[in-house]
Structure 1
Amino acid sequence: MMARFGDLDDYLDPGLKLTVRGKEYTLPLPSAELGIWCRRIALMAGEAGAASTDEELAEATTRARIRAAELPPLPGAERLEFEQLLLGEVHAEMMRDGIPDPYIQFCAQTAYVWIVGGEDQAERYWTSGGHPEARGPDNRATRRAAARKTSTDAASTTSSQGSTSGTSSRPKSAGSGRARRSRGRRS
């Protein structure tokens, strides 16, 4: 007997929720055509879903905007901009709410990452602000505190020299000191 699964709507969220200036916008699930269109861009521009660093992810979204203009438009969407295609009705809602253009562009790029790479990639892109060097609002203070902690931890764990009586123990390696320093070079 064949296994029967429950309704997929019970397992998938209805879309991506983005909060902009205190208001939550829900992007609907993309149409099949939009998903295919975005994946074509990803293949042309460099896969956003395979980006391992925030910098690679940001570069992939930039290339996607450029490559989108090179693809034939989606049927019925010949006159729509990249942001309108990706945000759908949410684009018009953001315009009515007076959301600035850079915010709308960023939301559209996040939607692209979501379609191509999934929720985890979209969250990485969103929380980095699309800039790998900006990892959060408190990044500078956090990095400095971490650096101070690391340097004090290193200082407290440094071992002191055991004996200064002039004797030394033999090297544990069976080879000569010269061979040990060569870092694998063979002569």
Structure 2
Amino acid sequence: MAFEALDELLDESLELPVAGRLYTVPAPSAEIGLRTQALINAAAVAADGGRADEQVLGDAAERDLYRDVLGPAHDQMIADGVKWPALKHCAITAMVWIAQDKQAAERYWNAAGDPSRLAPNRAARRNRSGAASSTPSRGSTSGTRTRPAPARGKGKKDRKPH
């Protein structure tokens, strides 16, 4: 078995529909991908209450990260007059794609960036799955039973053997 050409195996672009137009975000360079990954990891550490690498966050702030992750789609969006919330959503979607994968980016995009829509609560998942909400859980099938607790107030010598 031989390795197939990698460029034929990977889907190296992201198609984002905005205001009736489809913008193509090409795969970033390795440098941009590594920087984006480092930034997202630092942000996750900070969000969890840890100490983020300030150099990583500072470097990212000095550069135009949105322009980098969107590539030529950034300038096209600006020329087309795309509004800031849409451009920001596109850029963060591209960052999710770079740091994770296309499926994670699609979930983020379709949730409109709302974290509560990314991880629906248990009841919503249950309702979507079609499972009955009042199905009782099955009891133990191990064939064993627990011993009844001794009656209160009786000592060990007063207990009956089992």
TM-score, with structure 2 as normaliser: 0.65
How many pairs were matched up? 132
Distance 1:85 1:123, change over 3 A: same
RMSD: 3.5
Report the Cα distance in structure 1 between the residues aligned to 2:60 and 2:131, rounded to whole angstroms: 53
Report the Cα distance in structure 2 between the residues aligned to 1:117 and 1:71, rounded to whole angstroms: 21
Q: Is 1:38–2:36 an aligned residue pair?
A: yes
Choose from 65, 69, 90 the match for 1:82: 65
What is the match of residue 59 of structure 2?
Answer: 71
Consecutive unaligned residues in structure 1, runs of 5 or more: 48-58, 159-171, 179-187
What is the match of residue 109 of structure 1?
Answer: 92
Deviation (angstroms), 1:42 = 2.3
Secondary structure, counterpart of 1:176 in structure 2: coil
Q: Deviations over 1:112-155 (max 9, x none)?
A: 111001112111211111112346xxx9xxx6xx49x989x63x
What is the match of residue 54 of structure 1?
Answer: none
What is the match of residue 155 of structure 2?
Answer: none
What is the match of residue 118 of structure 1?
Answer: 101
Report the Cα distance in structure 2 between the residues aligned to 1:124 and 1:27, rounded to whole angstroms: 17
TM-score, with structure 1 as normaliser: 0.57
Q: Which has the higher contact order (CA 8 A, sep 6+)?
A: 1
Q: Is 1:27–2:11 an aligned residue pair?
A: no
Deviation (angstroms), 1:99 = 0.9
**Aligned 8 A contact 2:39 2:60 in 1:** no
**Aligned 8 A contact 1:68 1:82 in 2:** no
What is the match of residue 83 of structure 2?
Answer: 100
Secondary structure, counterpart of 2:16 in structure 1: strand
Distance 1:72 1:130, change over 3 A: closer
Runs of 4+, deviation exceeding 3 Å = 66-69
Report the Cα distance in structure 2 between the residues aligned to 1:112 and 1:174, rounded to whole angstroms: 58
Report the Cα distance in structure 1 between the residues aligned to 2:150 and 2:115, rounded to whole angstroms: 44
Identity percentage of aligned residues: 32
Distance 1:177 1:42, change over 3 A: farther
What is the match of residue 173 of structure 1?
Answer: 146
